[in-house]
Amino acid sequence: MTWFMVLAVASGGAVGSVARCLSMISVGQEFRAFVAIGVLGGFTTFSSFSLDAAALIQRGDLATAFFYVAGSVLAGLATLFVAIYLVRQVIVA
- Reported as a single tens digit per residue, the pLDDT across 7-44 is 777 777 777 788 788 888 888 888 887 887 777 776 65
For the chain, the domain total comes to 1
- On average, the pLDDT of the chain sits at 82
Residue 34 identity: F
CA pseudo-torsion sign 64, 65, 66, 71: positive
- Whole domain around residue 34: which residue ranges? 3-92
Q: Which of 73, 86, 87 is nearest to 8 (CA)?
A: 73
* Angle separating helix axes 3-23 and 62-92, nearest 10 degrees: 30
Q: What is the mean pLDDT of residues 38-64?
A: 80
pLDDT of the residue at 17: 82
pLDDT of the residue at 59: 95
pLDDT classification of 46: cutoffs 50, 70, 90: low
pLDDT of the residue at 3: 72
